[in-house]
């Protein structure tokens, strides 16, 4: 059940972004591993998506130390 006084904090958002960035990065690399038989390797769209996932994880990691301030 949700508490009525629950407030999403910067730490919560940081953890969500960090985990999302890491899982997204692993997912994109996993797609390339599953399709190992095809030629070409990691293309420009995958490189862009990997960069976005890395930036998302970095932003998340920088929000975690800000603590329990409301977002």
For residue 50, what pLDDT band results from cuts at 50, 70 and 90?
Answer: very high
pTM: 0.82
Q: How many residues does the chain have?
A: 71
- How far is Cα 50 from Cα 62, in angstroms, rounded to an integer? 18
11 found inside a domain: no
40 found inside a domain: yes
8 found inside a domain: no
Show the domain range for 32.
22-66
Task: Give residue 3's pLDDT.
Answer: 67
CA distances from 68 to 6, 11, 20, 35, 53 (A): 12, 6, 20, 42, 24
CA distances from 43 to 11, 48, 49 (A): 34, 9, 10
47: DSSP letter: H
pLDDT, tens digit, 9 for 90 and up, residues 4-48: 777 888 999 999 999 999 999 999 988 888 876 677 678 888 899
- Identify which has the larger pLDDT, 2 or 14: 14
Give how many domains the chain has, as a whole number.
1
1 found inside a domain: no
């Amino acid at each position: 059940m949700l508490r009525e006084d629950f407030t999403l904090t910067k730490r919560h958002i940081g953890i969500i972004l960090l985990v999302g960035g890491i899982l997204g990065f692993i997912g994109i690399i996993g797609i390339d591993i599953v399709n190992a038989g095809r030629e070409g390797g990691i293309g420009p769209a995958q490189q862009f998506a990997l960069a976005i996932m890395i930036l998302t994880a970095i932003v998340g990691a920088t929000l975690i130390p800000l603590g329990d301030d409301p977002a």
